[in-house]
Structure 1
Amino acid sequence: MMPIALSQLSPSPFPTGVQRLQEWGVIRALGADSATFLQGQLTNDVQSMGAGDVRLAAYCSAKGRMQASFVVARPAPNEFLLACSADLLPAVLKRLSMFVMRAQCKLTDASADLSVWGEVGGELASQAASLDAASGVHRLRLASVLGLARHLCLVPAGVVPEAPALPEGAWGWLEVGSAVPRVVAATAEAFVPQMVNLEVVGGVSFKKGCYPGQEVVARSQYRGTLKRRGALLAGDAALAPGQEVFHSADPGQPAGTVALSAQFGGRHLALVELKLAALEGGTLHLGSAEGAALSSVALPYEIPAEAP
């Protein structure tokens, strides 16, 4: 199945601007032990982060399944900000807090203090220095898509960025197009990180110490070629996280699961956890083997042929 380029499905020029992201929330970790505590809970090395660094990470169950994914910032030595899906934040915050015990680390829901905005195309660049200094805005650099710079901006309550508004769906389209997974409530504990390419985009460290599910994640990496990966698919029907995708050659069982989806300009795009064999021939369909047809879209990065 020859993939098409994301640019073929996207308007040109693609709009730039900012958008308030109600679907995101923020957890704050504060205290002298915050770095060591998070180091023992997340898939990535956060202890070595400096001010201005941005890292992806996941919080896994003992079975190695992702309960949440984060964009992590470290604005101060004893403070971390973890941006994640708002619909699973309360449950994840509660579970993480159970393991703090005697550590000097206070975990709180900072969503009321920090709203989350998506910025496309550097629209806040001219304001960035003054905003960061005067208002405590944190601009977290994400992977560029379609040649456009993207930032996840954590903005103090009451501050409204002065920039053109993105049209509805534009941010989500680029987020899915980046093929960087974000766990939502519908997909919590559905995927081992490699099933949605989290280690490929830098969200897993195989050199750091232990964390929940670490043995499962490591085995998935080093046993040999992985059979399931994250793939971009497009179609004419709406897709939603948790929906199943079927392959024409094996109609009796699903070939994959939608991890994240977007709609923009009448088109639909999804990051799908998919059997790699399903991309080698035949056709893909949503919901059943007779469902809406789906087309393969090229990923913005290379997938290793086998584990290093």
Structure 2
Amino acid sequence: MTQNILDTLQTGAVFADLAPLGLIAFSGEDTATYLQGQLTNDVRKLATGAAQYSGFCSPKGRLLASFLLWSQDGATYMQLAGDLQEAIQKRLSMFILRSKVKARDARAEIVRIGVAGKHATQLIEAILGVLPPTDMGVVHTPAGSVIRLAAERYQIITTPESAAALNETLGRDASQIDYPIWQWLEIRAGIPTILPATQEQFVPQMVNFDLTNSVNFQKGCYTGQEIVARTQYLGKLKRRMYLVHGDSPAAPGDELYSADMEGQASGMIVNAQPAPNGGWDALAVIQISSADAHPIHLKSLDGALLAIEPLPYPLA
């Protein structure tokens, strides 16, 4: 990744093939009821034409996966880390039992393209002729559907038959980027992706689910809900997710250290990617007291120093 990417984001647009992400489709008349009992967010709101971030927890309230959800053509789509698709699809399918729901691998059914940058909105409107009115809004057109993830980030959803022409059109006015750069954009946006190395490490609030509308505290019971609710209403949250930058490579699951923790880890890397202007950017769950008052180091107290940078949303 080079400085040119930053320049393009500031003056134009970029697009990325999101095929490395997993995709599970749920269909059947009991889909909404079934998913409502499993996921952290209120799945019923998908019927209003909105997308949402959500998660799937263990009975202990620890995240097994995080994902983007939307409804389209009679199915509910769950987009998650590709490395987790098989295991999560299998685990969720175990709970379907007699419900009229089917889960299938949907990666070959549709093509997903991420678009970002200063001119992303203008480009999306020119291609599809319409824009979602708000963040996490979804609109459907004959040429494809589009989710507005944020003011300058979108996801287009189209058919394999239409993808080639769409990519050609995008290529005339935007620069194509590799998937890791899209992951870097997700990191800068403060949107975590649970990976195999970080499964069962965090309750939703630790990765800021309550700040990104990824958990709903009024929806009723779901797997792990009791622990999540107790953390929200009865406990004091001790760890939060921060955006950090350092000079040394980092990887999901790497532990973080600070002098106040007496040799115990004070945090963990959630996601990390090289930054276009050098070094590495990462999302990291860190002890709040440590982040507020002590230098944070990667892998050991003698490890590389990490600087905390502002997220695009306030930490409550």
Using the size of structure 2 for normalisation, the TM-score is 0.85
Number of the residue aligned with 1:263: 274
Counterparts of 1:90-239 in structure 2, within 5 Å, are 90-120=86-116, 121-122=120-121, 123-129=123-129, 132-135=140-143, 137-144=144-151, 149-158=152-161, 159-160=163-164, 161=167, 162-163=169-170, 164-168=174-178, 169-239=180-250
- Distance in 1 (CA, whole Å) between partners of 2:305 and 2:158 is 40
AA at the equivalent of 1:248: A
SS at structure 1 position matched to 2:250? coil
| 1:32 to 2:29 alignment | yes
In the TM superposition, residue 196 of structure 1 has moved relative to its aligned partner by 0.6
CA distance in 2 between partners of 1:132 and 1:48 (Å)? 17
Q: 1:295 to 1:221 in 2, by over 3 A?
A: same
Structure 2 distance, partners of 1:299, 1:68, is: 22
- Contact 1:15/1:166 (<8 A) preserved: no
**CA contact 1:25–1:115 (8 Å) conserved in 2:** no
The DSSP-based 3-state class of the residue aligned with 1:180 is coil
Residue 274 in structure 1 maps to residue 286 in structure 2: yes
- The answer to whether the Cα contact below 8 Å between 2:253 and 2:269 also exists between their aligned partners in 1 is yes
Q: Percent of aligned pairs with the same residue? A: 35
- The one of 83, 88, 109 equivalent to 1:87 is 83
Count of residues in Structure 1 that have an aligned counterpart in Structure 2: 289
Contact 2:22-2:84 within 8 A present in 1 as well: no
**Aligned partner of 1:165: which letter?**
S
Query: 1:261 Cα shift?
Result: 1.4
The one-letter code of the counterpart of 2:202 is F
CA distance in 1: counterparts of 2:269 and 2:115, whole angstroms: 25
- Distance in 1, matches of 2:112 and 2:281, equals 23
Task: Tell me the amino acid that sits aligned with residue 49 of structure 1.
Answer: L
CA distance in 2, matches of 1:284, 1:152: 34
1:24–1:86 CA contact under 8 A, matched in 2: yes
Deviates more, 1:153-162 or 1:257-266: 153-162
1:100-156 CA-to-partner distances (Å, cap 9, x unmatched) read: 111111111101112332111233321124995334x33222134xxxx11123332
Aligned: 1:72 with 2:69: yes
DSSP-derived class of the 1:190 partner: coil
| 1:67 CA drift (Å) | 0.8
Tell me, in whole angstroms, the C-alpha distance in 1 between the residues paired with 2:264 and 2:29. Answer: 49
Structure 2 CA distance for aligned equivalents of residues 133 and 153 of structure 1 = 11
Whether the 8 Å CA contact 2:271–2:282 is kept in 1: the answer is yes
**Could you tell me how far apart the structure 2 residues matched to 1:218 and 1:51 are?**
25
Aligned-partner Cα distance in 1 for 2:193–2:217: 20
Gaps of 5+ in 1: 1-9
Which whole-Å CA distance do the structure 1 matches of 2:213 and 2:291 have between them?
24
Amino acid at match of 2:194: V
Q: Which residue of the partner structure matches residue 299 of structure 1?
A: 311
SS at match of 2:115: strand
Q: Secondary structure at the match of 1:229?
A: strand
1:63 alignment partner, SS class: coil
Runs of 4+ in 1 over 6 A off after TM superposition: none
